[in-house]
Amino acid sequence: MVEQASAPAPLLSVRDLHVRFPTERGAVNAVNGVSFDLYEGKTLAIVGESGSGKSVTAKTLMNLLPRTAQVSGEVTYDGQDVRALAAAGTKHFFGVQMTMVFQDPMTSLNPVKRVGEQIAETLRYHLGRSRSEALEEAEELLEVVGMPEPARRVSQYPHELSGGLRQRVVIAMALACQPRLLIADEPTTAVDVTVQKHLLDLLDRLRRDRGMSMILITHDLGVAHGRADDVAVMYAGRVVETADARTLFFDMRHPYTEALLRSIPRIDDPVHHRLDPIPGRPPELIDPPEACAFAPRCIYAQGDCLGGVPELSGLVGLHRFACLHPTGTERGMAAMSANRAAGVTAAGLPVADSGGGG
């Protein structure tokens, strides 16, 4: 590197990440070659069903996988090899540069320690603050995350707070050392719907105020909408489609993305309108067949979908998708009408003549 290139380097860059968990029944291939870039100040949403590998990807980034996990691939943060940093036990990297917010605020706080102490702990360990300084800062942080009566909260225990307030504590804890990258793993899944929007807006505001980058992991495309700059859709351990948010929502190519969007209830849907669920279940990750993993659930599936795993086409950073018969293209239209005519896809999924089951 002689000088700074005109295009800024990504803050976080993941290349060909593979994660396998050996089990008695065989290796679970949880993540199969995931690549993405995240730029300073941007939000990347990773969307997928449970078992798609999105959480495992996040945990890999944070070095939180159990010892038995077999990881390969490159994770680069600001030019540094994250896996090497983790292996070397580098101090003041995790928690300072990048940190994470977990799904369930009911369990991600230590039940036996006061809220203030749990926030202060990070400040004391990483930034060398004294106990009283750290507690003062903890109170300020609680105020930043919109906690009512922060002065009283610092000396409360987690069980004295509601789920929404606890998640604010978790967020305050994550923000304590001014991280540049925040990974939020389903941050609002476990809280009330009414609290969800508050928390998501809070995260978004904090990200903007502090110039943080964020990876927002969710199973809900609706959560990603309006908050993510880029979206990566994961299925069976692979990124099947990735693009900037606008393109992904309005000009998606992968049938799975389309199916995910269709399964979200809309406010302008008629009352008692049936949702369009995605048929079937997510695939087994042990010894998967050499085929498109979504094919058994895909209304576009053709014979060639079962012949091999489709590659993610396109350049990193642009609209990329792994599909042989992409939706919104001629090939896709042709596949769809062929399946409709036959009443069944190549993978044996029955297809009604007029789209949904009614």
Partner 1 sequence: MARFVLRRVVLLFAVLFAVTFLGFAAMNLLGDPLVNVVGVLAELDCEGIEAGTVEDTTVDAASRDCDTVAAAKAQYHLDRPVPIRYVLWLSDMATGDFGTSFQNDQPVSEVIREKLPETLILLTMAQIVSLGVAVPWGVIAAYRANRAFDRGSTVASFGLLSVPNFALGVVLLYLLALRWQIFPSAYESGSFGGLVFSLVLPAVTLGLPLAASYQRLLRTDLITTLQEDFVHMARAKGLPPMRIMFRHALRPSMFSVVTVFGVSTGALIGGSLVVEQIFGIPGIGREIVTAVVRDDFPVVLAIVMLVAVTFVVLNFLVDLLYSWLDPRVRAR
* Binding-site ranges for partner 1 (CB under 8 A): 59, 62-64, 89, 91-96, 99-100, 102-104, 107-113, 121-122, 125-126, 157, 159-160, 170, 173-174
Residue 122 Cβ vs partner 1, minimum distance, rounded to whole Å = 5
Residue 131 Cβ vs partner 1, minimum distance, rounded to whole Å = 13
Nearest residue (CB) to partner 1, 162 versus 337: 162
Residue 303 Cβ vs partner 1, minimum distance, rounded to whole Å = 44
Nearest residue (CB) to partner 1, 85 versus 338: 85
Residue 241 Cβ vs partner 1, minimum distance, rounded to whole Å = 28
Nearest residue (CB) to partner 1, 190 versus 200: 190
Residue 99 Cβ vs partner 1, minimum distance, rounded to whole Å = 6
CA distance 57 to 264: 24
Nearest residue (CB) to partner 1, 61 versus 259: 61
Residue 174 Cβ vs partner 1, minimum distance, rounded to whole Å = 8
Residue 43 Cβ vs partner 1, minimum distance, rounded to whole Å = 19
- Checking DSSP bridges between strand 98-101 and strand 181-185, what pairing results, if any? parallel
Nearest residue (CB) to partner 1, 96 versus 333: 96
Among 264, 341, 265, residue whose Cα is nearest residue 299? 341
Residue 244 Cβ vs partner 1, minimum distance, rounded to whole Å = 28
Nearest residue (CB) to partner 1, 80 versus 329: 80
Residue 2 Cβ vs partner 1, minimum distance, rounded to whole Å = 33
Structure tokens at 20: 């396998």
Nearest residue (CB) to partner 1, 9 versus 106: 106
Nearest residue (CB) to partner 1, 157 versus 249: 157
Among 72, 28, 30, 74, residue whose Cα is nearest residue 237? 30
Long-range contacts of 29-32 (CB under 8 A, 24+ apart): 29/237, 29/285, 29/286, 29/288, 30/56, 30/237, 30/285, 31/56, 31/57, 31/60, 31/237, 32/236, 32/237, 32/238
Nearest residue (CB) to partner 1, 102 versus 321: 102
